[in-house]
Amino acid sequence: MSNPNLFGATPTTPITPPVGATVSISGVPIPTDIPGPEEAARLKAEFEAALKELALTLSGHVSTADGQWAVKGFIDAFRNVYTISSDTKIVSKILEIHLFPQILAFAEKYGYAVVLAEHQNYYPDISFVLKADKNVKFAVDFKTTYRNPLKPWLCNGFTLGSHGEYFQKRTSTKNIQFPYGTYLGHFCLGIIYDRAEGATIDETKSTPVEELHSITSVISNIQFFVVEKWKIASDKAGSGNTANIGSIKRIECIISGNGSFSKLGESWFDEYWMNVGKITIPDPKKTGATKKITTLEEFITYRGGDLSLIVPRSNLE
């Protein structure tokens, strides 16, 4: 006899759970008032293709002909220009503001409403909600980082959001604009750039606006990309004291979405980051001792998965 499905019926019996209910797949509660798997996959593919097309145009909106960032600083009422800092947080925020007209035009073109994060620590930066069906939502986070000047094939990496409560409890509304499980896809709109050498930037002086051309931009060679966040995730935290997911650092692998989980699939990414640091296993280095799972290799072994599907860390850094 066929095994029962999630709702206690055989696979040949069509079941429609009530709208607004939740079901659990691999321990992850999923709201049922979102499109079915095939429709969701189609909508996600269309959204990703459109967002990637947008990304191809963005450099022209923010860069000069010689590849420098078009933003030179900020101007006061007396027409003096002050160079901005190369601090990554400042650069990231100004880039977001600089790009916003294109984001709004994109949303309008494809029939989406733009919902910004209500608080600074909320995920994601932007929620795209289809105007014709508010159950169709996509999460997009701006992710910016700089190239390693000594190893230009590497970047400094990104943090890809928390693996805390809203990630583990997909119906939670803590620190997230809409429950994680209601988004059909989670994307990064990524930005990788070169930082200007410190000797070429003087943050202590102002420049008359008439001499704007003489100011060296704090960043240049700006590259945009779009990728689902799980495809560029590593198995290491993105920051020391917070529950943030870290990214890989090899630029070509980031652009192509070839991260640690890329061959395993999104479900392995979800399960690993829900359970990392929680599951106890015997410590192979200390007889009789135990340890918490902290690597993807340990987790795949514990779950009985295929270790050959892990993208080697040596290929990513």
Fold that domain 34-260 belongs to in CATH:
ECO RV Endonuclease; Chain A (3.40.600)
Which amino acid belongs to residue 52?
K
Among 44, 72, 137, 141, which one carries the catalytic annotation?
Answer: 141
Q: Which of 278, 301, 282, 299 is nearest to 291 (CA)?
A: 282
pLDDT band at 87, cuts 50/70/90?
A: confident
Q: What do you get for the CA distance between the two ends of the chain, in Å?
A: 49
Is there a catalytic annotation at residue 143?
yes
For the chain, what is the mean pLDDT?
86
Domain positions in the chain? 1-29, 34-260
Residue 19, pLDDT above cutoff 70: no
Q: Which burial class, exposed, middle or buried, applies to 308 when counting CB atoms under 10 A from its CB (0-12, 13-18, 19+)?
A: exposed
Q: Using CA atoms, how far apart are residues 64 and 69, in angstroms rounded to an integer?
A: 6
Residue 116, pLDDT above cutoff 60: yes
What mean pLDDT do residues 153-160 have?
93
Q: State the pLDDT at residue 289.
A: 87
Among 72, 125, 235, 270, which one carries the catalytic annotation?
Answer: 125
Is there a catalytic annotation at residue 141?
yes
Q: Which residues are within 8 A (CB) of 147 and not within 5 positions of it... i.e. 6 or more apart?
A: 154, 155, 156, 192, 193, 194, 195, 221, 251
Is there a catalytic annotation at residue 125?
yes
Q: Which of 270, 230, 263 is nearest to 247 (CA)?
A: 230
27 and 19 in contact (C-beta within 8 Å)?
A: no
pLDDT band at 6, cuts 50/70/90?
A: very low
Q: Which burial class, exposed, middle or buried, applies to 19 when counting CB atoms under 10 A from its CB (0-12, 13-18, 19+)?
A: exposed
At 31 the three-state DSSP class reads: strand
Among 44, 72, 137, 143, which one carries the catalytic annotation?
Answer: 143
- Tokens 């902290």 correspond to what residue? 294
